[in-house]
Chains A and B, each alone.
Chain A
Amino acid sequence: MEFLYYMGDVFTPINFGLLLLGTIGGLILGATPGLSPTMAVALLIPFTFKLEPQQGLILLGAAYTSTVAGGAVSAILLKIPGAPANIATTLDGHTMATKGEGAKALQLSFIASAIGGLFGVFLLIFLTPVLAQWALAFGPSHLFWLAILGVTVIGTLDSSSVVKGLLSGCIGLWLATIGFDDIMGAQRFIFHPAVSGGINVIPALIGLFAIPQVITMFTKGRRNDDAEVINVKKHPIRLAFVEVFKRKTALAIGTITGSIIGLIPGVGGQIAGLVAYDQSKKFSKESDKFGTGHSEGVIAAESANNAMVGPSLVPLLTLSIPGSPTAAVLLGGLLIHGIFPGPDLFMNYPQVAWTFIDSMLIGQLLMCIFGLYIAGLAASVARVPHAVMAAIVLGLAVFGSYSVQNSMGDVYVMATLGLGMYFLERFGFSAAPLVLGLILGPIAEANFIQGSMIANATVGKATYFFTGWLNWLLILIVSASIAYSVWMEIMARRYTTKDDAVAKEEALS
């Protein structure tokens, strides 16, 4: 209960002011496509030079929590995920927005984020020593199986067709091989200097999601002016709370999956949302509604990606190892003040450590309050005419891709992938499995190579990858996931008539 003792420190005028600044600033940065949480925190580090360590960390902690949640705004309204963590939010969130339920989707996402986020921070407060062991338990072989588990999700992520989902996943896996390979430094498919560093996930994400949207908006032109404007239904906040708590399964699965996956160094943040989305789809009674603007999809995805925030800091705070790029930036923020994170961080600097964690708790609540406030305003984005909207989104897409590393190469990559995706979408492929392939490819590959190198020097590949309870557990989940997909595909075939199939195809095109 030591965290309560330091709670007062959060509410001193300067600290609370910084907390407000971090939260509001984080929401805005998070809502800007291309500004991922890592970037937002890195941008703020120079400001903390001038602050006390405690104040600097309050600013960083608040910004980290709210940028993750802020990414949902552009994911829902524009179908551009602010960061990889928000990919799953686009699937149902944006569909809701096009149905005029943008305000509702935003409210749900902020409430779910806050609940997931609070749970994650409480895990960090109470279970840190236990969780630290769990974070270390994942070696190369386990991470490899985890990535394979992610690959099995690819097929079912796209609700229209397993085969098309797998195909676009394969395109993503191929794109991931471009550039210098992470371990051996071999050069692969470098046909242009712009891709010599590989395909960066953020520009790819923006291109694949935003550009097809922009082209579609432009092609509609000005012909049917009336159809352009979507009505935004007002949605009382009270009902949003009722809705979130009614969808207990999605909320619970999202929060728990997010917390567990968030712990795993190097993998967590990027796929927590997608895995949670997939799991809650499999467990939901209304799984066929996923992808059509179903509230459970938004709730699961957003509660997961904020639940990950707290646990993702466990390896940093206890073992002094940054488990994610954002944690690495936070480590810099600590070191600059001469604070070494580690097991005795809470003994040597209780004031700094606990105030930081408390500020993340209060930050979650503030983020929810401001989020709900802007949800009403932001949803009117849907009222902007298509031609104007397309221009704004295009501008943001170019700005977002360029700002990742001040490179025009990334803008070309974004544009090329976006154009390709526009045509793929015409043929019924979707972007989410492709991005998942792009993210998982390097994780699976690097860990397989590392694992094999260790295995060859010690026990041999078969023993290394196929023994130990954690390997077995993961293999079991992988098999279950594949079996479930195959079974669903067979069931769908059996009960789909030719007319249904034709209608489905037409609805897609």
Chain B
Amino acid sequence: MKQWIAGAALALATMTGTAYADGHSSYPERPIMMMVSYGAGGATDFQARIVTMTAGNEDALGMPIAIVNRPGAGGRVGWNWLATEAEADGYTLGAYNIPHFVAQSIEGGVSYSTDSFEPIANWGADPAVFVVGADSEFNSMADVVDYAKANPGGLTFSGAGLFVGHHIAALQLEKAAGVKLAYIPNNAGGAGAMRAVIAGEVLGGVNNLSDAFRAQAAGNVKILGVFDLERNEEFLPDVPTMTEQGFDIDNASVNFRGVMVPKGTPQPIIDKLAETVPAMFGNGRVKSRMAAGGSPMAIMSRDEVLEMWAAREETLKELLAGL
């Protein structure tokens, strides 16, 4: 009996001990949850499910990652929750979208900023592109800007909302071309914005490269320019960047997607995740599924992401100061 009690006590000690005392060496001991602040079926949700599907493998975390959606208000609801209510125990991860959450924190009215989270790794980079209907008279960005110059404030174009990558791209275009445009934020996100372009409700639109690529393949739109530093060789090698077309626009609107944890998560766990997660994203099965879905990948380590966040915050502060 005594032995039994001693054994139980020992077992209990090791159980609690590993979890709390000796530097989380056995993390993770149970399945992990990852919060996605957009609805099921959206691009972020879709990609998050693919890149985490191998988490349960022995060479990855050894425990599955479950996706939980907390959509609302352009992602604000989910990120507010992650910053204020989520437990910083390493079992609650969150997906981030840059520049969305940085732009929202600069705009105000939310309880998070870049200081509220610790990045783990980046999995994807989806540049914004400018699309027009397949039968539109515009064939280059020069045509678009000429029209805008002739009709100040009359060039209507759609995007997924305010203070998201599409809006940033729109602001950059306005600034670089020196014209006044009519940006129409859509309440149904990127899909709604694309529908408005195809139906001819607006003259053009800013949209995700991945969605625009599909719409172009379906013969519904023309893609006139990429809001990035380089052309996208994988999906759209023929579409020139904005810089090539004479507009000084950098990659501030590129939608970077990755994994982060709330501030206060134990450092050993952050280190462990930062080491394992990029390798998990690099898995061959993940890569082939992402390519099949038309989703461009960009795997970045924790240090690279920290740098990217800081750089992005600076650019956005400058850009949004004029609003």
Contacts and interface: CB of A to CB of B under 8 A. Distances in A.
Contacts of B188: 265-266
A344 B198 CA distance: 17
Given A406-B68, A457-B154, A457-B182, A322 B41 contact: yes
A342 B294 CA distance: 14
Contacts of A338: 291-293
Contact of B184 (A49, A197, A406, A453): A453
A442 B186 CA distance: 12
B92 to A, nearest CB: 11
B62 to A, nearest CB: 18
A322 B193 CA distance: 12
Interface stretch (B8-16, B216-224, B251-259): B216-224
Contact of A184 (B162, B202, B217, B220): B162
A329 B41 contact: yes
Q: Pick from B71, B199, B292 the residue with the most CB of A within 10 Å.
A: B199
B218 A340 contact: yes
A180 B77 CA distance: 9
A139 B201 contact: yes
A485 interface: no
A320 B161 CA distance: 20
B73 A180 contact: yes
Contact of B107 (A182, A185, A320, A450): A185
B192 A325 contact: no
Interface stretch (B46-54, B226-234, B237-245): B46-54
A42 B40 contact: yes
A265 B198 CA distance: 13
A205 B187 CA distance: 22
B40 A136 contact: no
A45 B107 CA distance: 36
B74 A180 contact: yes
B69 interface: yes
B106 to A, nearest CB: 13
Nearest to A137: B199
Nearest to B211: A320
Given A136-B195, A185-B73, A196-B80, A450 B186 contact: yes
B187 A407 contact: no
A156 to B, nearest CB: 28
B175 interface: no
B317 interface: no
A128 to B, nearest CB: 14
Contacts of B186: 183, 450
A239 interface: no
Contacts of A329: 40-41
A9 to B, nearest CB: 22
Contact of A320 (B42, B84, B215): B215
Interface string B20-52: 000000000000000000011110011001100
- For chain A, which range describes its interface: under 10, 10 to 19, 20 to 34, or 35 or more residues? 35 or more
Interface string B287-305: 0010111100000000000
B266 interface: no
A405 B41 contact: no
B182 A453 contact: yes
A335 interface: yes
Contacts of A341: 218
B109 interface: yes
B277 interface: no
Interface in A26-59: 38-39, 42, 45-46, 49
Contacts of A442: 187
A172 B291 CA distance: 44
A374 interface: no
A268 interface: no
A454 B218 contact: no
B73 A315 contact: no
Contacts of B185: 183-184, 450
A187 B108 CA distance: 11
A361 B227 CA distance: 44
Contacts of B73: 179-180, 182, 185, 196-198
6 smallest CB-CB distances across A and B, nearest first, come from: A338-B292, A342-B218, A328-B41, A180-B73, A197-B72, A457-B182
Interface of B: 39-42, 45-46, 49-50, 53, 68-74, 76-77, 80-81, 84-85, 104, 107, 109, 153-156, 161-163, 182, 184-188, 191-192, 194-196, 198-202, 214-215, 217-220, 289, 291-294
8 contacts: A196-B77, A266-B188, A319-B220, A321-B191, A405-B68, A457-B156, A457-B182, A458-B154
Interface of A: 38-39, 42, 45-46, 49, 136-137, 139-140, 179-180, 182-185, 187, 193, 196-198, 265-266, 315, 319-322, 325-332, 335-338, 340-344, 405-407, 442, 446-447, 450, 453-454, 456-458
Given A335-B293, A406-B70, 13 more contacts: A185-B109, A197-B70, A321-B198, A336-B292, A338-B291, A340-B214, A340-B217, A342-B218, A405-B70, A405-B71, A407-B70, A450-B185, A453-B182
